[in-house]
């Protein structure tokens, strides 16, 4: 999606009603909202979501949409620790039928051509890649563009792992689960060596990790134009 389309999307505001919420694992929660009839997005994009049922400090936050349009629901997955922000406390208070506001979707963090693509997720940075994986599944292509997901978590905690493994069996997606930065760098080196300047790189996770990995990828001779970043901020 281009800049102009992003600007236009920022004027699109809608209310989303909660369908259900569930605890994925310790500290990780998913919220499913109804998808409006006129709503569509590119897997990997994000929206700005606003708490409306109560007054909170900083009521609007950006979140990647963790679902593909084919799922007919807007999925948000986030970490919520023992001392959550007012925003996340308010999210936990939502009951089915209650609403939040969404602006967007926006962003260009999505597969847009047939180039070999390396997806690099750090922790909860897996959310935009789940959407991309679900779209690959919906397309039903086993021999499409080469897409390799590197899923890094130093504690070996991988939300969506079972679901992603099922998608991997039915698509051209390959997944490697990693617990160290050294192992991640080795996989990046391998991909860069195989695809030279033709590969595209997508990095999502905490800002420090995203910036560091982006710098490392560039040291492999990859142009900035072939790297897309989605930095997550803690709040």
- Tens digit of each residue's pLDDT, the chain (235 residues): 455 455 555 567 899 999 999 998 888 999 999 998 889 999 999 999 999 999 999 999 999 999 999 999 999 999 998 999 999 999 999 999 999 999 999 999 999 888 999 999 999 999 999 999 999 999 876 657 789 999 999 888 898 999 999 999 999 899 999 999 999 999 999 999 998 888 999 999 999 999 999 999 999 889 999 999 999 876 6
CATH number where 94 lies: 2.40.30.10
Question: Does a structural domain hold residue 67?
Answer: yes
Question: Does a structural domain hold residue 111?
Answer: no
Question: Does a structural domain hold residue 162?
Answer: yes
Q: Does 125 lie in the same domain as 45? A: no
Question: Does a structural domain hold residue 112?
Answer: no
Q: Does 182 lie in the same domain as 84? A: no
Interior angle at CA 225, CA 219 and CA 230, nearest 5: 85
Q: Which residues span the domain enclosing 18?
A: 3-106
Q: Does 86 lie in the same domain as 26? A: yes
pLDDT of residue 9: 59
Distance CA 155, CA 13 (A): 38
Strand order in the sheet with 200-206: 173-178, 147-152, 117-122, 200-206, 227-232
Provide the whole-model pTM. Answer: 0.91
Tally of domains within the chain: 2
Q: Does 67 lie in the same domain as 173? A: no
């Amino acid at each position: 999606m281009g800049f102009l389309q992003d600007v236009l999307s920022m004027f699109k505001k809608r209310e989303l009603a909660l369908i259900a919420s569930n605890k994925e694992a310790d500290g990780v929660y998913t919220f499913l909202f109804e998808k409006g009839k006129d709503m569509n997005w590119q897997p990997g994009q994000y929206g700005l979501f606003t708490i409306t049922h109560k007054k909170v400090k900083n009521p609007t936050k950006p979140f990647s949409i963790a679902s593909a349009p084919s799922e007919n629901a807007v999925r948000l997955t986030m970490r919520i620790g023992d001392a959550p922000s007012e925003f996340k406390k308010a999210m936990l208070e939502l009951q089915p039928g209650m609403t939040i506001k969404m602006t967007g979707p926006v962003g260009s963090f999505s597969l847009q051509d047939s180039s070999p693509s390396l997806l690099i997720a750090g922790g909860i940075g897996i959310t935009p890649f789940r959407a991309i994986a679900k779209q690959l599944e919906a397309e039903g292509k086993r021999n499409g563009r080469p897409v390799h997901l590197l899923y890094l978590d130093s504690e070996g905690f991988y939300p969506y792992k079972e679901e992603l493994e099922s998608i991997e069996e039915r698509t051209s997606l390959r997944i490697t689960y990693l617990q160290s930065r050294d192992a991640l760098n080795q996989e990046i080196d391998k991909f860069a060596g195989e695809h030279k300047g033709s590969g595209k790189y997508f990095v999502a996770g905490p800002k420090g990790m995203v910036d560091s990995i982006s710098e490392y990828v560039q040291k492999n001779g990859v142009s900035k134009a072939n790297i897309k970043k989605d930095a997550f901020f803690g709040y």
